[in-house]
Amino acid sequence: MARPVRHMDRAVSPVVAIVVLIGVSIAGAAGVAALGSDVVDVEDRGASPTLTASADFDTQTVALAHHGGASLDLRNCSMTIHVAGDPLLEQPPVPYFAAAGFEGAPTGAFNSASDSVFEPGERARLSIAATNAPHFDPGDRVTVRIHRADVTVATASVRAG
């Protein structure tokens, strides 16, 4: 005599298989996402900062814009500004609030009241005082270099306008 078919025994196998398949899919997706985020983080941390400069002749203002790459903690950096190849007599001690050779307080990460971390998308500005030299004329090349432990980590250069 044939054994009666019990529908309960057959229904369990497909349900268990679906649960196992969903679990494997979720675990695989989580692994790929974790691996992908590690790759992006390493590339972002390792990328050199991309900075652009502007120099306004009328106000003797130098501004930097951070367009991407690594953030710069200016508390661990120094900055030098050259005008037509000559360094300023007084260099900005970034970050600072008031410093010899500079007018007023700087903006952005250059200001000691900020978090002092120059992040992509941010801008920072400072003005050279009349007591500092050399001043730039229209067309002079103004170059800003940011150093960490005597190594230049970012440079931006522009013709003054």
In a domain, 59, yes or no: yes
Q: Is the dihedral of CA 43, 72, 90, 151 positive or negative?
A: negative
Q: What is the largest CA-CA distance in the chain?
A: 111
**What does the pLDDT average to over 50-77?**
96
H/E run at residue 68: strand 61-68
The pLDDT value recorded for residue 14 is: 66
* Domain interval for residue 152: 50-159
Residue 16 has pLDDT above 90, yes or no: no
In a domain, 1, yes or no: no
**What does the pLDDT average to over 21-25?**
64
Number of structural domains found in the chain: 2
Interstrand relation of 78-83 and 86-87 (parallel, antiparallel or unpaired): antiparallel
Let me know whether 10 and 79 are in one domain: no
Let me know whether 36 and 72 are in one domain: no
Instruction: Output the pTM of the full model.
Output: 0.71
Phi, psi torsion values for 24, nearest 5 degrees: -65, -40
Say which amino acid occupies 108.
Answer: G
Q: Characterise 32 by phi-psi region: left (phi > 0), alpha (psi -120 to 50), beta (else).
A: alpha
pLDDT confidence tier of residue 47, bands split at 50, 70 and 90: confident
Residue 36 has pLDDT above 90, yes or no: no
In a domain, 96, yes or no: yes
**Structure-token pair, residue 160:** 């003054």
Cα separation, 80 vs 73, whole angstroms = 16
The pLDDT value recorded for residue 11 is: 56
In a domain, 136, yes or no: yes
**Of 144, 147, 153, residue with least CA distance to 53:** 144
**Of 84, 85, 73, residue with least CA distance to 147:** 73
Let me know whether 108 and 129 are in one domain: yes
